[in-house]
Amino acid sequence: MTSHTVDEVFGISRTLPLNYVARPDVDGRLLGELAAAHHVVIYGSSKQGKTSLRKRCMDPGGYILVQCSNRSDIADLHSNILKRAGFEITLSQKRSSSGRHKVIASLKAAVKASFFGQGVQLEGAAGGERETTTGSERTTAALELDIDDVNDVIAALQSIGFNKKIVLEDFHYLEYQVQRDFSVELKAFHEASDITFVIVGVWLEDNRLIVYNGDLTGRVVSINADRWNAGELREVIATGAALLGVSFAPVFTAALIVLARESIYVVQEACRRACLEAGVRQTREDNPLIGADLDVDALVKQIVDEQSARYDGFLSTFADGFQETELEMHKWLLYPILTTNTDRLNRGLKYRDIKAILREKHPREGELNSGNITQSLQSSASLQVKKNIMPIVIDYDQSSKTLYVVDKGFLIWLHHQDAAELLEDIGLAAE
């Protein structure tokens, strides 16, 4: 039997977990859409296996990875794509129509040698390099391009015969306007090239990019990586147990699946701690029984309580909003979240219910209108990104008009908190 450590099997890993379980409705569909060369959006709550899904289904040599940042604008996104495709980017003295300096894109030496060795002819239309040959002499001249212009970026990639997929990880970290701008550009990539994107983000909205740009209808496929049913979670536990040569007590497994609220992270971490509690640190040959006498509720609470400082910080920071305002809308958005039963909250809060609660509880309900509430809901994700709340905790689905908690650990944490105390901490009075 091959020996593995507990940390290689359970818990968070930088590599693909050894007990990875493929979900037919998720992995199977993603593989099919990738083979069809469709643009794909992988979405779900934080720590629900989106990145592992991408690593499991995509050949590492078949894509380039761009990690999105809350400080990136559309030009930064373009620049990062070109850099990872093999270009070196330097500033030109010339300016584009937007006033920004143009850039000079030249192939890195290693990439250049690779392409020339394959006999690739580089064209110098709008980006990349121009190659001319006189006798036995070959020269290359870097060309200028407008880094804001998606057409220049497409031409640069096409000039080197770029044929890999482009993965944009943590797309939700980008500012709201940058997400919208890229959604417009995605249509240009679709129409003017064979380049395909895989976009990974934390939200629970099936058609987020289509809401931003209706022209993407039929051009983008969304994969929901959030859902883990009881059978799949049970398989994760059983697969990990087999790798470690242990057995988890049925009572432990049953309780954990209920208390984890579909959080694959909580399941993985609880199993890891249960093994350590039983003295199991690597694969065993005596098949010990794990978790029979453990208080699973206390174990799950311990796991999420380690995030208490972050969750408290989210509440206080979100309550402050972008700036001080008379209606304090972002603070009051927390009222229905903190006073709603967590089982119902797990299904999402509808706009009409939030509106009804605020109209009843807000001290200046006479001044509230639908625009105030809608604007604060739509800006909830961008506020968290701006305030460096990462991963984000809540997000608003504009298409279904539903506010979701996209951090399942927060739901478990809320279940163990005194709502009145949390309201008091952010300056709201419970009734």
Asked whether the beta carbons of 287 and 247 are under 8 A apart, the reply is yes
In angstroms, the CA 262 to CA 254 distance is: 12
In 20-35, which positions are buried (b, 16+ CB within 10 angstroms) versus exposed (e)? Answer: bbebeebbebbeebbe
Asked whether the beta carbons of 42 and 200 are under 8 A apart, the reply is yes
Q: What is the pLDDT of residue 139?
A: 33
Q: What is the pLDDT of residue 368?
A: 84
Q: CA dist 76 to 66, 68, 72, 149, 403, Å?
A: 11, 9, 5, 12, 30
Token pair for residue 78? 């373009």
In angstroms, the CA 346 to CA 405 distance is: 7
Handedness of CA 17, 22, 28, 29 (dihedral sign): negative
Q: What is the pLDDT of residue 109?
A: 54
- Kindly report the number of other CB atoms within 10 A of residue 239's CB atom: 16
* Burial group, residue 107, by CB count within 10 angstroms (0-12, 13-18, 19+): buried
In angstroms, the CA 342 to CA 348 distance is: 10
Torsion of CA 353, 359, 360, 366, to 10 degrees: -170
Asked whether the beta carbons of 173 and 390 are under 8 A apart, the reply is yes
- The dihedrals phi and psi of 101, each to the nearest 5 degrees, come to -60, 135
In angstroms, the CA 206 to CA 41 distance is: 9
Crossing angle of helices 264-277 and 296-305, in 10° steps, is 110
In angstroms, the CA 182 to CA 75 distance is: 10
In angstroms, the CA 156 to CA 178 distance is: 21
- The dihedrals phi and psi of 198, each to the nearest 5 degrees, come to -120, 115
Write the DSSP string, 358-387: HHHH-TTGGG--HHHHHHHHHTHHHHHHHT
Q: Return the bridge partners of 350, or none.
A: 402
Q: What residue type is 353 in one-letter code? A: D
In angstroms, the CA 100 to CA 94 distance is: 9
Q: What is the pLDDT of residue 235?
A: 98
pTM recorded for the entire structure: 0.86
Containing H/E element for 149? none
State pLDDT tens for residues 365-401.
778 888 999 999 999 999 999 999 988 999 999 889 9
Handedness of CA 319, 324, 327, 329 (dihedral sign): negative
Q: What is the pLDDT of residue 98?
A: 60
3-state secondary structure of 3: coil
State pLDDT tens for residues 97-127.
565 657 787 776 545 545 444 444 444 433 3
Write the DSSP string, 239-269: HHHHHHT-EE-HHHHHHHHHHTTT-HHHHHH
State pLDDT tens for residues 1-13.
689 999 999 977 7
Containing H/E element for 40? strand 39-44
Q: What is the pLDDT of residue 11?
A: 74
Strands 289-290 and 247-248: parallel
Q: What is the pLDDT of residue 146?
A: 87
- The dihedrals phi and psi of 139, each to the nearest 5 degrees, come to -125, 150
Which pairs from 58-66 meet CB under 8 Å and 24+ separation?
58/34, 58/165, 58/167, 58/198, 62/164, 62/165, 63/164, 63/165, 63/166, 63/167, 63/198, 64/164, 64/165, 64/166, 64/167, 65/167, 65/169, 66/166, 66/167, 66/168, 66/169
Residues of the chain whose pLDDT is less than 70?
1, 91-101, 108-143, 430-431
